Amino acid sequence: MPQELSIVQLLLNASWVVQAVVVLLGLVSIISWAAIIRKVFALKRVNSHNEDFEREFWSGANLNDLYAAAAQSARHGGPMERIFASGMREYQKLRERRITDNGSLLDGARRAMRASFQRELDALETNLSFLGTVGSVSPYVGLFGTVWGIMHAFTGLAALAQVTLATVAPGIAEALVATAIGLFAAIPAVVAYNRFATDIDRVANRMETFMEEFSNILQRNLGQQAPHATASGH
């Protein structure tokens, strides 16, 4: 009998607890793979949007024009663009209130960008904790199924007058399938979690660097312009 069929046969003959564990781990594995695929495309999209906006920002475009474009495409833009729009929005609101203190203007823009940065970071980390949980818990769930299966197997062997390897092996094999499925679910989740955590840290560092650079541009503009002027370029 082919090995694939023998594994299926082992699962069919296993106790209901082992079967439930295998089904649960199988569902978790499918969900985690779906989360991994979504996260891969989401991070690629974020990096692409951020690169496009940075290229446009450092091309010397007018800040007010950039803000108008960012406000119109807030939903379809990238995180860096939304952070910039939050800072400019708060900056312009404070100027409209005739606040002329440079420190207050810069602090307000920085606070707005920091709040927007935190929202963007939370969005980037969506499903990351789920992958971490799958990677850490799945082996233990599989081990639980294995321990239960071995207990069930030895309980059945107690009624036999003569115990041989041929009678012991199937029950142990049924139980070990649960551990194998648990590892199958955990390993991709752990690898993906570590990779995504590293990628998100890079994106976060890049956005924080942009926030500092944009704050420096606002500070230079405030030092060069009259108190009633608006930021126009960099």
Q: Where are the domains of the chain?
A: 3-224
The residues near 78 (Cβ < 8 Å, ≥ 6 apart) are 45, 46, 48, 49, 50, 52, 53
Q: What is the largest CA-CA distance in the chain?
A: 99
- Tokens 């062997």, residue located: 157
Query: What does the block give as tokens for 195?
Result: 């990779």
pLDDT value, residue 95? 84
Q: Is the pLDDT of residue 144 over 70?
A: yes
Confidence category of residue 37, pLDDT binned at 50, 70, 90: very high
- Tokens 């107690």, residue located: 158
Is residue 128 within 8 Å of residue 204, measured between CB atoms? no
pLDDT value, residue 221? 82
